[in-house]
Structure 1
Amino acid sequence: MIEKILPAEVAVAEARHDPPDAELFPEEEAVIVRAVAKRRREFTTVRFCARRALAELGVPPAPILPGKRGAPQWPAGVVGSMTHCEGYRAAVVARTGDVSALGIDAEPHGPLPEGVLTIVTRPAELSGLAALTASSPEVHWDRLLFSVKESIYKAWFPLTGDWLGFEDADVALSPDGSFSARILLDPAGRPTGFTGRWLVADGLVVSAVTALAP
């Protein structure tokens, strides 16, 4: 599903169920030795997906360990992103010569829990959401905005190593399945914005940021 909003340079692997034969490297196993069953399933399956996607690039299986702030540490020469929610896991990867940054996110297509919207949304974005909801009420635009901001952060952090808060990205959503984001932090050699795509299908909302390499 998510491949529909990603360029051809990106390899994609998805799973709707947790395969019983999915295995972890010992180094990965050590990371979740005390994890609850739900966290273990998510961690294992999303890495199962990641290794399938890496195989499409000709990259052999290897441990994918969480690094700073939990960001996956990809093999040399590879950029990627992972996501998981109830009933869905996905991983995407690309060669750094083709893509400089990737960020994906999947969420259940339903309204955000009460109180979350005001935390993740800037005042100008709230008015935009109201207009979008009035014209296309079948889309949960609040959840979509949350997903887009998650994708933006996943693309931002590996490039910069810096935190990016929900309030630090000003997002404009478009009904045509695209979005743009203006980063409100001091540039200081960092990206000033991102563009991406979104899709609602099969009870999910998915979003993706792809920055092609120069």
Structure 2
Amino acid sequence: MDEHAHILRTQLRMNDGDLYLCHLFTPAAQRERMLALYAAYTEIARVPAEVSEPMVGAIRLQWWRDALAAGPDASNASPFVAALAACDFCTEDIACLIDGRMSALERPQAQMQTPTPDELEAEATIVGPAFMRLSLEALGHDPAACPAWARDAGIGFELVRLAHDGPTEIVMARASTWLATARAGFNASPRRERAKLLPAFLIIGLTARFARSWPTQVSLLRHQIRLLFSAFRGKI
């Protein structure tokens, strides 16, 4: 993983500044696992937007499935695949990150119709909870023991990222509801429990604030200060 870390950090910083900043607050012993997850998540999530034909996107997603099945030692393993495969994450949850993007690839075939909030929420329900379970697994927690509001956090997180594919205002409002439930659950947890889970939930705090303030744009400096405040306060 060490030889790939610089590549992953550089790409993650370019592709998703929020996830990049949040991964830096992960304890050193688990930081590379979180980096591998976040970097792979962003690469997979970009596939639908980077292709003009659904078949091309489907081929790229299948490449991820095949490459991960081959393992980290395969001669053709990319840095992203090698790092992710080396972490030995739950294969079912990794599959959700990939399979959940198929809906976005199929949209152009539906007469360019804007997806409904329900359709986007269904997509978010595939990807988001799996993303949160993997984030907690990266920290060494048992995904099966995830609190119920971790699922809400994942759905809200993913809905915000899908909002511009549909009626943005409605989707953002739905996302805010999911995220508010997750924040309430997290912040009501015992201090020691919050401390263990915090690195996986910092991105949820940032996402919740973004959804609440949308469409107002928050400056990067203010964004970073909020992240620091959440990290030191231990609440999102």
Question: TM over 0.5: same fold?
Answer: no
TM-score by length of 2: 0.26
TM-score by length of 1: 0.28
- Structure with the higher fraction of residues in helix conformation: 2
